[in-house]
Amino acid sequence: MDSKNSSKVKKIGVVGVGSFGTAIANMLAEKSAVIVYARKSEVVDEINSLHQTQGRNLNPAIRATNNPQEICAQCEILFFMVPSSGFQEVTRNFAPYLHPYHLIIHGTKGLCLDLPAGQDLKTVQKIKRSQILTMSEVIQRETVAVRVGCLAGPNLSKELIKGQPAATVIASKYNEVILEGQRLLRSDRFQVYGNSDIIGVELSGVLKNIIAIASGALAGLGLGENAKGLLISRGMVEMVHLSTALGGGVQSVIGLAGIGDLVATCNSVDSRNFTVGYRLAKGEKLDQILADMEEVAEGINTVKIIKAFLETTDLRAPITENLHRVLFEDFEIEEALQFLMKFPFSVDVDFV
């Protein structure tokens, strides 16, 4: 680390205080002085005076600010815990105050797009890989930060907040990032693994959200554990092919950030993506579901992005394609399921 402030106690910064950001801030506060960033001044006041936000308690030692310059000046290590929809904007707001000595680990399971002016996800039909940005690619494009990492795995926020046992993967091209993340987060209740394939880990966390929506739909239809086992196993195969096409490795998908997170999310009523699928299967419309969700279900945008990416490849991803039809083309869930049951898969595993 940079030695200019070595005589002072180093603070760790957490950018974003949604459910996951709150959980990570509390875990970091067990070992370190923590300062969190929230955009709204009323949220900052609530944290500093009441030590809570949106009904979630924060460690009383945690302090909040809405000043990017302040948090960047006080913290050399920052955890970015911002929804993908606002990630690029927040990164740009922080960019003037970030230096090459800053170390950034993000925990966002989503994708951003680099599209020509005037185009957005509603209007574009085809998207190339070069137009799709993982969060680490956003950080590297928008800032001078070099040492960038990603935190991913079966990390349902409600369980982390309760202190239930869990594990995560910190992925980075830089071993120092992995070691720092392990030092800061590892505890008796939280195991932290390392992985050098940051793109593969990011993509695993993104792609599993698609399968989680489908799993929620199966549960909503009451179709049982055999069907769920089929979906999860075929979903993992689809994740492998998509991740490989997008530049990730197979090993990351069959590790904690892939299959580990997939199993947890496909079985949890606490997963926002699972909940979307469940409510769709019960007859609710997507707009209605999104209107009363407190936080973003990242899988919805991911389905759109991957469907547009598929249009530029010769790859087939039947779960993603049929989920797109259900979410955006008024296709009945039961018909999508019938399509999947009849899809001519002939080989069980074809990627090893």
Residue the block writes with tokens 């945008």: 301
Helix (H, G, I), strand (E, B) or coil at 173: coil
Mark whether 208 is an active-site residue. Answer: yes
Helix (H, G, I), strand (E, B) or coil at 223: coil
The dihedral formed by the CA atoms of 89, 91, 94 and 99, expressed in degrees to the nearest 10: -150
Report the alpha-carbon distance of residue 266 to residue 68 in Å, rounded. Answer: 36
Q: What are the b/e assignments for 59-73, b being 16+ CB within 10 Å?
A: eeebbbbbebeebbe
Report the alpha-carbon distance of residue 241 to residue 276 in Å, rounded. Answer: 24
Query: Which of 208, 228, 304, 307 is the catalytic position?
Result: 208
What letter represents residue 141's amino acid? R
Helix (H, G, I), strand (E, B) or coil at 336: helix
Contacting residues for 218 by C-beta, under 8 A, at least 6 apart:
227, 228, 231, 277, 281, 337
Contacting residues for 255 by C-beta, under 8 A, at least 6 apart:
169, 193, 195, 201, 204
Helix (H, G, I), strand (E, B) or coil at 99: coil
Contacting residues for 248 by C-beta, under 8 A, at least 6 apart:
197, 199, 200, 201, 202, 203, 204
What letter represents residue 71's amino acid? I
Residue 180 vs residues 54, 100, 162, 173, 177: alpha-carbon distances, Å: 30, 16, 24, 13, 5
Residues marked active site are found at 208
